[in-house]
Amino acid sequence: ENWQDVKVYLIKGDSPESRSPLLLADNSPWMDIPFTQGNVLKKLKEELPVVNENWDKVKSEVEIVRRMAAEERERKKIEEEEAKKKATEEKEKLEERLKTIPKVDLTKDEDKGAIKQVIEQGEGEVPKKGDSVKAHYVGTLMDGTVFDSSRKHNAPFDFVVGEGRVIKCWDLAFTNMKVGEKAVLTCQPEYAYGENGSPPTIPPDATLRFDVELLSFEPKMKDEL
C-alpha cells in the first residue's frame, strides 16, 4: 500500500541453489533506481539478452496489431457512412416514386386507415384468412426512424393472417397481396398500435409505414378448418 517502499527484483539462476535476487527498481527516495515501467524494462533488457533481442520484435508486432485495428475501425466507419448514404438515397428515390403510385384504401369503410401502394407486382393467388404467411418487412415511423426490420436480421417473419395475430393493417394488406409482391403500407394508429403504441420503439398514436414483401404462404390445413 505504501508505494515508497516498492522494490522489484529479478530472480536469476537455473536451479534453486544458484538463484539470486537482482534489484531492478526501488522506489525509496534515497535509491537511484526509479520504479517506472521504462526503467524496469530497461533493466530487464540489460540483464536478460533474450528480452533485449525480442523487444524490438515485440514492439513491431504490437504496432502492426494497433495499425490493423485502426484500419479496421476506419474501414467499418467508411462502410457505415456508405450504407447510411445509400439508405438515404434509396429512401429519397422511394419517396419520389410513391408520389406517382396509386394509393389503395384497404379498409371496408374507406377511412384511409390502411393504405397500400404496390412497388412490384406479384403472381398467383392471395392468402386467405387462416393461411400461414412468410414475409419480409421494414417498419418505420413517419420521420423515417426504423423501429424493426426482418431484413436486417435476414429472418423472414411467419404469421397467420386474418385472425388478429398482427396489426389490422397487416391483416388487410396481406390478404390482398400475391407472392413476390412488394408494397408500402401506411397504417394509421387505429390500424396499428393505437393510443398506447408499443414502447419503447413505437410512440402512442403513431402512424407507421411498412415496406413489405410477400415471400410465400401455405393454406390452412384441412384439419384446422
Asked if 205 is an active-site residue, the reply is: no
- Among 220, 70, 84, 201, smallest CA distance to 141 is for 201
* pLDDT of 3 above 50: no
- Among 186, 177, 175, 172, smallest CA distance to 94 is for 186
Catalytic residue, candidates 26, 115, 131, 193 = 193
User: Would you call 11 exposed, middle or buried from its count of C-beta atoms within 10 A (0-12, 13-18, 19+)?
Assistant: exposed
Catalytic residue, candidates 171, 210, 211, 217 = 210
Q: Calculate ∠ Cα 31-37-38, nearest 5°.
A: 85
Model confidence pLDDT, tens digit, residues 59-98:
788 889 899 999 999 999 999 999 889 888 888 888 898 8
Instruction: Give the rounded distance of the alpha carbon of 114 from its chain centre.
Output: 30
Model confidence pLDDT, tens digit, residues 114-123:
999 999 999 9
Catalytic residue, candidates 26, 115, 131, 167 = 167
* pLDDT of 51 above 70: no
Asked if 148 is an active-site residue, the reply is: yes
Under 8 Å between Cβ of 24 and 6: no
Asked if 193 is an active-site residue, the reply is: yes
Asked if 137 is an active-site residue, the reply is: yes
Asked if 9 is an active-site residue, the reply is: no
Catalytic residue, candidates 35, 101, 105, 137 = 137
- The answer to whether the predicted template modeling score (pTM) of the entire model surpasses 0.85 is no
